[in-house]
């Protein structure tokens, strides 16, 4: 009996060690990309989920799915903490969903499904790294950006519209502010990334533009 108990403890220690290693792999990828949640966060998420799962099995909870639901709820609060609003979009959603996926990997390890957790880790890393190239391709060919441009007259607003067409940028106005000194217009422009860069170069040297930001 003592032998079986010691053997069980050794197996559980191996599972915890595996969860730490898998969390390290995913955390290293997020740390490399300088994301809001990094190496230590993902190691602890994977380890914690694994340990909670092991404890639930040892304690003998009647409804193990309730523990899984509670782990996911806790991870939801943690994921919400890394989501924040940037200037033009919501940032941190990918990191939050990666935390969620890492928790599932930790739970798989704790349940003894080591091969399933290894497969999940490989898939997570492939999605985070390989699909970033596809994301960059889409971003380069369909960049959406908000600009705020200040000019003096409505004729110059029309001039800006002609400039957008020159650089093949689709546009529409989202808000406009008029004062006696100038007209401030917020635009949503859509087009290739290189066309945005060329447009910004013209803004920097254009005498008709008093100020701009994006």
- pLDDT, tens only, 194-214: 999 999 999 999 999 999 998
What is the per-residue pLDDT for 65?
64
* pTM of the complete model: 0.66
Q: Quote helix, strand, coil % in the chain, to nearest 5.
A: 65, 15, 20
> Is the domain of 64 the same as that of 111?
yes
CA 130, 134, 139, 140 dihedral sign is: positive
> Is the domain of 87 the same as that of 162?
no
> Is the domain of 18 the same as that of 123?
yes
What is the per-residue pLDDT for 190?
94
Percent of the chain at pLDDT > 90 equals 40
Q: pLDDT at residue 191 above 90?
A: yes
> Is the domain of 108 the same as that of 174?
no
What is the per-residue pLDDT for 71?
76
Q: pLDDT at residue 169 above 70?
A: yes
Q: pLDDT at residue 62 above 70?
A: no
Q: pLDDT at residue 102 above 60?
A: yes
Write out the residue range of the structural domain in which residue 18 sits.
2-139
What is the per-residue pLDDT for 11?
82
> Is the domain of 106 the same as that of 166?
no
Radius of gyration of the chain measured on its C-alpha atoms: 26
Q: pLDDT at residue 53 above 80?
A: yes
Q: What is the CATH number of the domain that holds 149?
A: 3.30.70.260
Q: pLDDT at residue 84 above 70?
A: no
Given 139, 159, 178, the domain boundary residue is 139
Give the integer Cα–Cα distance in Å for 101 and 72.
10
CA atoms within 13 A on the CB side of 200: 14
pLDDT band at residue 2 under the 50/70/90 scheme: very low
Domain count, the chain: 2
Give the integer Cα–Cα distance in Å for 139 and 155.
32
**H and E: helices and strands count for the chain:** 7, 6
- Please calculate the CA angle 12-15-21 and round it to the nearest 5 degrees: 145
> Is the domain of 165 the same as that of 61?
no
Of 181, 178, 185, which Cα lies nearest the Cα of 149? 185
What is the per-residue pLDDT for 164?
95
């Amino acid at each position: 009996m003592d032998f079986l108990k010691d053997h069980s403890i050794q197996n559980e220690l191996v599972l915890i060690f595996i969860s730490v290693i898998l969390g390290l792999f995913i955390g290293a990828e997020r740390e490399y990309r300088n994301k809001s949640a990094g190496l230590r966060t993902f190691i602890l998420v994977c380890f914690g989920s694994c340990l909670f799962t092991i404890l639930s099995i040892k304690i003998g909870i009647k409804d193990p799915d309730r523990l899984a639901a509670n782990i996911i709820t806790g991870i939801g609060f943690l994921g919400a903490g890394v989501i924040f609003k940037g200037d033009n979009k919501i940032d941190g959603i990918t990191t939050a969903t990666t935390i969620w996926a890492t928790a599932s990997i930790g739970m798989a390890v704790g349940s003894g499904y080591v091969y399933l957790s290894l497969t999940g880790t490989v898939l997570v890393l492939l999605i985070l790294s390989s699909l970033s190239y596809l994301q960059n391709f889409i971003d380069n060919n369909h960049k959406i950006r908000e600009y705020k441009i200040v000019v003096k007259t409505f004729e110059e607003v029309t001039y800006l519209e002609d400039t957008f067409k020159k650089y093949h940028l689709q546009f529409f106005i989202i808000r406009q502010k008029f004062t006696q000194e100038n007209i401030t217009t917020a635009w949503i422009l859509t087009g290739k990334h290189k066309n945005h860069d060329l447009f910004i170069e013209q803004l920097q040297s254009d005498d008709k533009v008093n100020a701009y930001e994006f």
